[in-house]
Amino acid sequence: MAPKKAKGSSSEEKSVLEYLVKANRPYSANDISSQLHGLVSPAQAKKLLNDLADDGKIQRKVNGKQQIFYANQMDIEVPSVEEAEEEEENIKKLEQQVNATKDENKALAGRLHNLTNARTDDQMRERIATLTAEIKQNEERLAQLRSGEVISPEEKKRIETEHAAMVKQWKARKRMFKNIIDAMSEGYPGKLRDLYDELGIETDEDVQVDVSIIGAK
């Protein structure tokens, strides 16, 4: 007959005992199996825990069919007051770092959302060119109408309304462009003018267009 294996000789039993002492909280056999990431099955964990409890290496509490195991508190090294205070201070610092990181992530997520939902540079240039052409055409029509050409009040109101809408959209696009270019220029080593040249961007000022004047009545 083969000799019976001594209790506590397996590496699995050692791992279970070390984890219970380190965690210093009650666990069931299923909990231990999960916490050790499948090193032992729930059935193996139950047997190992009961063996350890029988040997007096850990404590066992039975509540009906439920068995809970935890480390002997006499085996737990109690930190000194100074060590406890130092650990508490470290925890506070880590909490501050976590909060700061959360705030930073929230800000970056907001910027990413704005950038990913904005038009591309080519789309912005194309839209600006289209709006500029439309506004110029409307300005010419409006100038003719204001010069004295006969027009019905309804037609005049319609044209002025369309003109105001176009100028409003132009201003909105201009603000959107400013937000995007401000985000892109953060950390850019050169001047803003260099960034414009690198991206091939023409501003209203480059073509001597002032939206505030165009939008004035």
Q: How far from chain centre, in Å, is Cα 150?
A: 59
Mean pLDDT check: name the lowest of 13-27, 31-45, 169-183: 169-183
Angle at 131 (CA atoms; ends 127, 136), nearest 5 degrees: 150
pTM over 0.85: no
Instruction: Compute the average pLDDT of residues 45-67.
Output: 91
For residue range 179-200, what is the model confidence (pLDDT) as tens digits? 887 887 787 787 878 777 877 8
Mean pLDDT check: name the lowest of 17-26, 138-147, 162-171: 138-147
* Per-residue pLDDT, 7: 47
Quick check: 8 pLDDT over 50?
A: no
Q: 27 burial class (0-12, 13-18, 19+ CB within 10 angstroms)?
A: buried
Each residue of 170-203: b (16+ CB within 10 Å) or e?
Answer: beebeeebeebbeeeeeeeeeeeeeeeeeeebee
* Backbone torsions φ then ψ of 68, nearest 5 degrees: -120, 135
* Per-residue pLDDT, 87: 79
Quick check: 128 pLDDT over 90?
A: no
Strands (E), the chain: 58-63, 66-71
C-alpha to C-alpha distance for 109 and 96, rounded to whole angstroms: 20
* Per-residue pLDDT, 2: 42
Quick check: 53 pLDDT over 60?
A: yes
Between 214 and 179, whose confidence is greater? 179
* Per-residue pLDDT, 42: 92
**How far, CA to CA in Å, does 87 sit from each of 80, 83, 95, 209?**
10, 6, 12, 63
Between 159 and 67, whose confidence is greater? 67
Residue 118 DSSP label: S
C-alpha to C-alpha distance for 127 and 173, rounded to whole angstroms: 9
* Per-residue pLDDT, 148: 66
Work out the pLDDT band at 75, boundaries 50, 70, 90: low
* Per-residue pLDDT, 169: 87
Q: How far is the first Cα of the chain from the last one, in angstroms, to the nearest whole number?
A: 108
* Per-residue pLDDT, 49: 93
